[in-house]
Amino acid sequence: MVRSATSLTGNGVRDWLWQRVSAVILAVYTVFIVGFIWITPQLDYVAWFQFFQGVGVKLFTLLAVLSLLVHAWVGMWTILTDYVKPAGLRLTLEILVIIALVLYFIAAIAIVWSV
Amino acid sequence: MSEAMRTVKFKIYRFNPETDIKPSMKDYELTIPDNQDMMLLEAILRIKALDDSLAFRRSCREGVCGSDGMNINGRNGLACVTLLSSLKQPIELRPLPGLPVIRDLIVDMKAFFKQYEKVKPYLVNNDPLPAKERLQSPAERKKLDGLYECILCACCSTSCPSFWWNPEKFVGPAGLLQAYRFIADSRDTSKVERLEALADPFSVFRCRGVMNCVEVCPKGLNPTRAIGHIRSELLAEGN
């Protein structure tokens, strides 16, 4: 058993499962958005505005953003632990990635609920 | 009448830590009868007769002991089961990648065997001993096919990028094939403990499924499939 304090769940199976579950959510969201673009006759500001006024769409969008962040963290953590060997530098980069991801989430909430 | 001869060209990685600062590639030429083919190992042995400073491992010379694993024209394999005629010249021989070089084509296999040791590659069964032996049905025995044949030549693990980056944390394809060989064994009673020991984010899950291991295995085994089975077992156990 290899201990790892900084991975998403500290457990390989759960990290792996989270990455796959989030991938499925992102795939469904992609189909959802492409479907909206497909069936909307006139795709202008008003159409987008009305679309994002629905609470369901807002929640689904935030869920998709959250999935993206979870997915990105598992992936970024894997890349950093593969390629960055000095522990101090790796931890610094990991913290920067976490800060960026958290800011993205806050920005996403601000954008989606401003509609 | 003299026999028609041909020349085979080699470039071989040379490094002697006692005298060399850096490794280098040395050219060799071997003259062999035109109508004769041989295994690469035989050719290396003939080169050694010309230059006895060349160091490499070999033993059984028939693909059973796993000693002469090396990087042949960029691909890991066993010299003793690789036909000379199948190789493009100059034939480039290097030590297995990713492990420290002791000398020339000899690598330090400690990291490899340490991972092998980690998976407890032996049967664990705490049930009372039966009168004769622990029996298996033919179906149970069949599950071990494709797993038990590994000769630990390290061709797979040393061709795996995940093993190169994390040799002390990722068990590697050879070790994981053995891990599954015992997880799948109906006579083993420590399946849960075995799976628990592998559930962290590195031991199994550092495998990205690039299948270099499958590509190079001289015994035609499929460690990636075994790793997939371990993942499914881990999911089923709910670790």
Nearest chain B Cα distance for residue A46, angstroms: 44
Rounded distance, CA B203 to CA B239, Å? Answer: 14
Q: Which two tokens stand for residue B80?
A: 């003793």
Q: Which two tokens stand for residue B223?
A: 């460690």
Q: Which two tokens stand for residue A14?
A: 């759960």
Burial of A17 (0-12, 13-18, 19+ CB in 10 A): middle
| A10 interaction partners in chain B (CB closer than 8 Å) | 200-201
| B205 interaction partners in chain A (CB closer than 8 Å) | 12-13, 15-16
pTM for this one? 0.89
Average pLDDT over every residue of B47-68:
96
Nearest chain A Cα distance for residue B96, angstroms: 20
State which residue of chain A sits closest to B194, comparing Cα positions: A1
pLDDT score at B118: 96
Average pLDDT value for chain B? 95
Of B166, B205, B239, the CB nearest to A82: B166
Of B197, B202, B204, the CB nearest to A4: B202
Q: Do A78 and B196 touch (CB under 8 A)?
A: no
| A3 interaction partners in chain B (CB closer than 8 Å) | 200
pLDDT tens figures, B96-154: 999 999 999 999 999 999 999 999 999 999 999 999 999 999 999 999 999 999 999 99
Q: Where are the beta strands (DSSP E) in chain B?
A: 5-14, 24-33, 69-72, 75-78, 91-94, 101-103, 106-107
pLDDT tens figures, A65-81: 999 999 999 999 999 99
Q: Do B203 and A83 touch (CB under 8 A)?
A: no
DSSP annotation of B83 reads B
pLDDT tens figures, B3-39: 799 999 999 999 999 999 999 999 999 999 998 999 9
The domain spans of chain B are 5-107, 110-237
pLDDT score at A11: 86
Q: Do A83 and B198 touch (CB under 8 A)?
A: no
pLDDT score at A3: 76
CB of B193 within 8 Å of a chain A CB? The answer is no
B1: pLDDT strictly greater than 80 = no
Average pLDDT over every residue of A9-20:
89
Was domain B110-237 assigned CATH 1.10.1060.10?
yes
How many Cα atoms within 13 Å fall on the side-chain side of residue B14? 16
- The CATH number, out of the four listed (3.40.50.1100, 3.40.50.300, 1.20.1300.10, 3.40.50.2020), of the domain defined by the range A12-113: 1.20.1300.10
Q: Do A17 and B235 touch (CB under 8 A)?
A: yes
What radius of gyration, in Å, describes the C-alpha atoms of chain B?
21
Nearest chain A Cα distance for residue B147, angstroms: 22
Rounded distance, CA B23 to CA B109, Å? Answer: 19
Rounded distance, CA B188 to CA B177, Å? Answer: 16
CB of B206 within 8 Å of a chain A CB? The answer is yes
Contact between B211 and B183 (Cβ < 8 Å): no
Among B169, B165, B159, B129, which Cα is nearest to B223's? B159
Contact between B226 and B183 (Cβ < 8 Å): no
Cis amide prior to B90 (ω within 30 degrees): yes
ipTM topping 0.85: no
Q: Do B200 and A17 touch (CB under 8 A)?
A: no
Which is it for the CA torsion A78, A82, A87, A91, positive or negative? negative
Nearest chain A Cα distance for residue B193, angstroms: 11
The domain spans of chain A are 12-113
Rounded distance, CA A9 to CA A16, Å? Answer: 10
Was domain B5-107 assigned CATH 3.10.20.30?
yes
Rounded distance, CA B50 to CA B43, Å? Answer: 11
Of A12, A17, A78, the CB nearest to B200: A12
pLDDT tens figures, B41-53: 999 999 999 999 9
